[in-house]
Amino acid sequence: MSKVIYFDTETTGLDPVKNDIIQLACIIEIDNQVVDEFEFKIKPFDFQNISQEALDVHGYTLEMLREFPGPDIIYNQLIAKLSKYIDRYDKNDKFIPAGFNVKFDMDFLKQFFIKNQDVYFGSYFSYRFVDPLYFIYFLNYCNTINLPNYKLITVCEHYGIGISAHDALSDIRATRQLIKLFVNKFIVKNDSSKLTQLGYMVFNGDVVLNEFLSSDINFKKAKELIESI
């Protein structure tokens, strides 16, 4: 059984230790079917380390943040959601995290657990993640895509996917559409050998991708694979 959690965060800055999540949006998919979708607004733990630049991007004010539910309340609600689908005591039962530049969001969510006195983030989430950004970088290398930047909104506009930038729920819905588009365009319509090789790159994040492409032979094979599709 495949269990994927697509998620995106909006934060008070770029440092997951000093800064906090203020919006978290998730889509839970089991065996390719969406079974849950939810969004939380979260009061920061620390109001002393809030970047004004981050507030300007998200459109929030300090007064708005003070009205959000406390992080302990949201933590309990989040655990209740996750526990509906994952047995945290079963090491083989974990969500595959998915998102755009999702390592950033994973680092923040892990710190959110820690700040709530929970060091068992890994009981719910696999360390292998799905991130279309790395595949987009590879498409750029193959001259298959050439954009002025590779922000989510730019990529989505290129592929005709609607998005309201810097809103966690809109971002993660768009990211899921982008991942499904890549699966259909580059994997499902092609033979099983291409499915295996492309799936290896798309669905295992930067560590595996870099490991795979560190070999010149693998890199050339992967480039030829893209060009053949």
CATH number given to 3-123: 3.30.420.10
pLDDT digits (tens, 9 = 90+) for 69-118: 999 999 999 999 999 999 999 999 999 999 999 999 999 999 999 999 99
Name the DSSP letter for residue 38.
E
Q: Tell me the pairing of strands 21-30 and 33-41.
A: antiparallel
Q: What are phi and psi of 27, to 5 degrees?
A: -125, 125
Q: Give residue limits of the domains in the chain.
A: 3-123, 132-228
| Partners of 23 in beta bridges | 10, 41
Claim: this prediction has a pTM higher than 0.75: yes
Alpha helices for the chain (secondary structure H)? 52-58, 62-67, 71-83, 102-115, 132-141, 152-158, 168-182, 192-202, 205-213, 216-228
pLDDT in tens, the chain (229 residues): 799 999 999 999 999 999 999 999 999 999 999 999 999 999 999 999 999 999 998 889 999 999 999 999 999 999 999 999 999 999 999 999 999 999 999 999 999 999 999 999 999 999 999 999 988 998 888 888 899 999 999 999 999 999 987 789 999 999 999 999 988 887 655 554 454 455 555 544 444 444 444 445 455 555 565 555 5
Contact 160, 177 (CB under 8 A): no
Cβ neighbours for 88, distance < 8 A, ≥ 6 positions apart: 82, 120, 123, 124
pLDDT digits (tens, 9 = 90+) for 211-225: 444 445 455 555 565
The residue type at 208: V
DSSP 136-198: HHHHHHTTS---S---HHHHHHHTT----TT-HHHHHHHHHHHHHHHIIIIIITS-HHHHHHH
Contact 85, 94 (CB under 8 A): no
Q: SS3 for 22? A: strand
Q: SS3 for 27? A: strand
